[in-house]
């Protein structure tokens, strides 16, 4: 087996007496879509924060593309090729869609902080940004301010922003949360189109989406992995049914 792109081993995190992440080990192979599911309060977002570097684990290690990134700052992880989206969409509302996406192009390209170089007219930023916007189906909305987008469009924008980082892996924190049905279907189609090209860790509540998209599913309950495997066997797992799927009907 080839080395996974992203791998967690024995990651632990407590807030006071509460163990939010209790020895989680999991990995994501190149091109694999690995879904992380679990009931509310299972510690999924906390885990994503630890992978993206916004929280530091108390113990355990995180390896990305063969190197230990446990102590890396978020910006350093991003530059190493680990992109993420947020459960609560996180964009720059007063910048246009194009400008938002160009931020990522700028971060990856040469002289990202040039002091005197006009940004808005810079084709070396706008060109790749437009390509990413097209890839997520927002081409017609390129000049709209991000604050004006619908919820689903903001989700797509976040994915475009992640793509411009030329990532090796993308962390998707509930990309379907709060999105209407029609837009949700569009997003699922988008994620499907990206499948195979990036290693993706998908945190999601929407079971239908998870079983339609995932190559592998890991179930997190109270910070602990209770099951992991291909979608069919996880769906059949009695512990999972009891802890999670049961309540969904």
Residues contacting residue 118 through CB under 8 Å, at least 6 positions apart: none
Among 34, 84, 186, 216, interactor with another protein by CB under 8 A: 84
CA distance linking residue 105 with residue 97, whole number of Å? 13
Nearer to another protein, 46 or 228 (CB): 46
CA distances to 9, 81, 169, 199 from 166, rounded to whole Å, are 25, 6, 9, 12
Contact criterion met (CB below 8 Å) for 6 and 50: no
Task: Give Rg (Cα) of the chain.
Answer: 18
Among 52, 126, 218, 228, interactor with another protein by CB under 8 A: 52
Contact criterion met (CB below 8 Å) for 158 and 150: no
Among the listed ranges 56-64, 112-120, 179-187, 218-226, the one in contact with another protein (CB under 8 A) is 112-120
Give the rounded distance of the alpha carbon of 192 from its chain centre: 14
Collapse the DSSP code of 243 into the 3-class scheme (helix H, G, I; strand E, B; otherwise coil) and give the result. helix
CA distance linking residue 160 with residue 156, whole number of Å? 6
Question: Is there binding between residue 113 and another protein (CB under 8 A)?
Answer: yes
Among 45, 46, 50, 106, interactor with another protein by CB under 8 A: 106
Question: Taking the complex as a whole, how short is the minimal distance between the CB of residue 74 and another protein, in angstroms?
Answer: 5
Residues touching another protein, count (CB under 8 A): 41
Q: Where in 156-185 is the site for another protein (CB under 8 A)?
A: 161, 165
Question: Taking the complex as a whole, how short is the minimal distance between the CB of residue 19 and another protein, in angstroms?
Answer: 25
Among the listed ranges 8-16, 57-65, 73-81, 240-248, the one in contact with another protein (CB under 8 A) is 73-81
**Contact residues: another protein, CB under 8 A:** 52, 54, 73-76, 78-79, 83-84, 86, 90-95, 99, 102-104, 106-108, 111-120, 122, 125, 145, 147-148, 161, 165
């Amino acid at each position: 087996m080839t080395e996974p792109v992203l791998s967690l081993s024995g990651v632990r995190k407590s807030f006071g007496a509460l163990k939010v992440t209790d020895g989680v080990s999991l990995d994501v192979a190149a091109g694999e879509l690995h879904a992380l599911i679990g009931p509310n309060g299972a510690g999924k977002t906390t885990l994503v924060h630890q992978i993206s570097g916004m929280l530091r684990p108390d113990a355990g290690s995180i390896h990305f593309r063969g190197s230990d990134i446990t102590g890396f700052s978020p910006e350093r992880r991003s530059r190493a090729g680990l992109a993420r989206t947020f459960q609560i969409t996180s964009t720059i509302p007063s910048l246009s869609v194009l400008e938002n996406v160009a931020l990522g192009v700028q971060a990856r390209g040469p002289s990202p902080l040039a002091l005197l170089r006009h940004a808005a007219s810079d084709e070396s930023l706008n060109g790749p940004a437009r390509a990413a916007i097209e890839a997520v189906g927002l081409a017609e909305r390129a000049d709209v301010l991000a604050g004006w987008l619908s919820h689903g469009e903001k989700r797509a924008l976040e994915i475009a922003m992640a793509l411009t980082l030329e990532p090796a892996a993308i962390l998707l924190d509930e990309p379907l949360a709060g999105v209407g049905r029609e837009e949700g279907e569009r997003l699922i189609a988008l994620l499907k189109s990206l499948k195979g090209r990036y290693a993706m860790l998908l945190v999601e509540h929407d079971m239908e989406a998870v079983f339609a998209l995932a190559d592998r599913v890991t179930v997190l309950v109270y910070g602990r992995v209770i099951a992991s495997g291909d979608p069919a066997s996880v769906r059949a797992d009695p512990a999972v049914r009891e802890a999670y799927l049961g309540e969904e009907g």
